[in-house]
Structure 1
Amino acid sequence: MTVPSFTVPSLFLAAPLTAYLAFVSPWLGRRQYDRLARRRAGDPRALVRAYRLWIGEEWAWIAVTALILALSPGAGPHDLGLTRPDDLGKVAAMAGGLSCALLAGSLVLRHAARSGRAVRGQEAVAALLPRTSTERRHAVAMAVTAGVCEEVVYRGLLIALGVGVLGLNQAVAAFLALAVFVAGHFYQGWKGMAAVTLLGFWFTAMYLATDSLLLPIVAHVLIDLRGLVLTPPPVQEKVGEPSM
């Protein structure tokens, strides 16, 4: 990885964005999720409004990230992993492993759900599970948005800032970026955050191994689609109640 160079004007955008992601977003996300869980049963549009709010917010992060790059001639999209991976053999091997893991996990989760058992980890996002076709369309949009925007910002931008601004080793910068990514899922509670830590570590490892966000983005989108849209809720599930 080359060392990106960020200008002072770009840091006036990068610093508040990083602070927001690390400290404000976790607290705000927890409040928004709790409010959604309380209103879900009595307000048929609550989930759609929440999805639209979060989709707009995450694409706003991308707009700020694009402006940071525009103000920094010494940093480019390739410094954020927005490039084609060089080692296609390594990518093919990782893609094969990803496909097998997703298939096996999906079969296990669908079997658990159809037998009426709660799917492990599903209770952490119970209020986000769609029930109608409109909600499912928004859930798909949310999964794609999260996969693209969160990888570009949490993985690409934050690691680049750690290396280029703080002078950190790439591995250390990646660890700190992972911590911020996990904090952003505070609304899921500690059990949910533990699962997010494992997934985030996996996404980070794929990024560092390929120097590209292509595979992490694809994996993130597919996992979110599976969790929100493709895994049926358990028969006995009571959707909309806070899990914590």
Structure 2
Amino acid sequence: MSFTPLTLVLSAVLVGYLAVVSPLLGKRAYDGLARSRDRDPMVYRRMCAFWCAELWVLATLALLIVAVEPGLDAAGIGLVIKELPDELLGAILGFLVAGAVGVLVFGWLAARGKSVPGQQAVVHLLPRTKAERWYAAGLAVTAGITEEIVYRGLLIAVGMGALGLSENAAAFAALAVFVVGHLYQGRRGMITVALIGLTLTALYLKTGSLLIPILLHALIDLRGLLLSPRPRRELVENAA
């Protein structure tokens, strides 16, 4: 499969934005949130709204590329429902059980004044009010849907169609861009993102469908933003 010139241009614009512009904008926005969170009650909601809008625009561009590229369709970027292998269903169930156990363990740690693993990387994204929780939920669901379409579905197809990479090589390149997109989380946070992204990529390649990666991605983000215990004050101060 080779892309048309129009598709190549659109893909180059999208990849350039994802690899360079979006990470820098995201880090700038998150750092601004950290500086002004305590004195500006609206800054959290503005940032969530901006990130959601950005992600939906990127997903729309991804779907536009699919629409104008004759050799690519919805199934080519994983937007298809397929029957899942029995062994994969068991693995997904185990993943969900592990997530539920993690929520309980993190709550236990927080109740005893101990740090929750990985929380410092996104401590300023944790909502503090009921209104912020709605914005956080919207961001989690938006990221689950749009990031899978863009980073997993489209970028792997672009790597194969535009660059002639093998499926595994294209998946690795897409994963690298996905990790860079979370620059605002710092080195440790990006390692966690890489592990999660690797799992979601493996699920996509195994099933050929984005359905399970989208659901799991949204659940992971919902757990991280809404079911994480409130961090200790010194953790927030150290992350500022």
For Structure 1 versus Structure 2, the TM-score category normalised by the shorter chain is: over 0.9
Identical aligned residues as a percent: 48
CA contact (8 A) 1:40 1:240 kept: no
Native 8 Å contact 2:66 2:73 kept in 1? yes
**Deviation of the 1:242 alpha carbon:** 6.3
Match of 1:150 among 147, 150, 175: 147
Shift of 1:196: 0.7
Q: Tell me what 1:202 maps to.
A: 199
Alignment of 1:209-228 (within 5 A): 209-228=206-225
Match of 2:239 among 228, 238, 243: 243
Residue 65 of structure 1 deviates from its aligned partner by 0.9
**Any stretches of 5+ residues in structure 1 without a counterpart?**
none
Amino acid at match of 1:98: F
Deviates more, 1:144-153 or 1:6-15: 6-15
Tell me which residue corresponds to 1:127: 124
Partner in structure 2 of residue 182 of structure 1: 179
Give 3-state SS (helix, strand or coil) of 2:233's partner.
Answer: coil
Distance 2:129 2:57 in 1: 27
Query: TM-score, normalization: structure 2?
Result: 0.95
- Which portions of structure 1, spanning 4 or more consecutive aligned residues, are displaced by more than 6 angstroms? none
Question: Residue 109 of structure 2 contacts residue 116 of structure 2 at CA under 8 Å; is this kept in 1?
Answer: yes
Q: 1:232 to 1:74 in 2, by over 3 A?
A: same
Instruction: Tell me the CA shift for residue 199 of structure 1.
Output: 0.6
Rounded to whole Å, the distance in 2 between the matches of 1:20 and 1:204 is 21
1:117 paired residue among 109, 114, 118: 114
Structure 2 residue 54 is the aligned partner of structure 1 residue 57: yes
CA distance in 2, matches of 1:46, 1:242: 20
Letter paired with 1:6: F
**Segment of structure 1 superposing worse, 129-138 or 105-114:** 105-114
Amino acid at match of 1:26: P
> Aligned AA for 2:207?
T
Of residues 156, 159, 164 in structure 1, which corresponds to 2:156?
159
Q: Would the alpha carbon gap of residues 13 and 237 (structure 1) be closer, same or farther in structure 2, given more than 3 Å must change? A: same
The 8 Å contact of residues 160 and 170 in structure 2, kept in 1 or not, is answered as yes
The aligned counterpart of 2:21 is 24
Shift of residue 81, structure 1, vs aligned partner: 0.8
SS in 2 for 1:64: helix
TM-score normalised to the size of structure 1? 0.93
Q: How many Å separate the matches in 1 of 2:88 and 2:56?
A: 27
After TM superposition, give the deviation of residue 21 of structure 1 in Å. 0.4
Alignment gaps of 5+ in structure 2: none
The amino acid across from 2:45 in the alignment is: V
Amino acid at match of 1:156: G
Deviations, residues 128-167 of structure 1 (Å, cap 9, x unaligned): 1101111000000000000111111000000000111111
Instruction: Say if 1:242 and 1:158 are closer, same or farther in 2 by CA, change over 3 A.
Output: farther
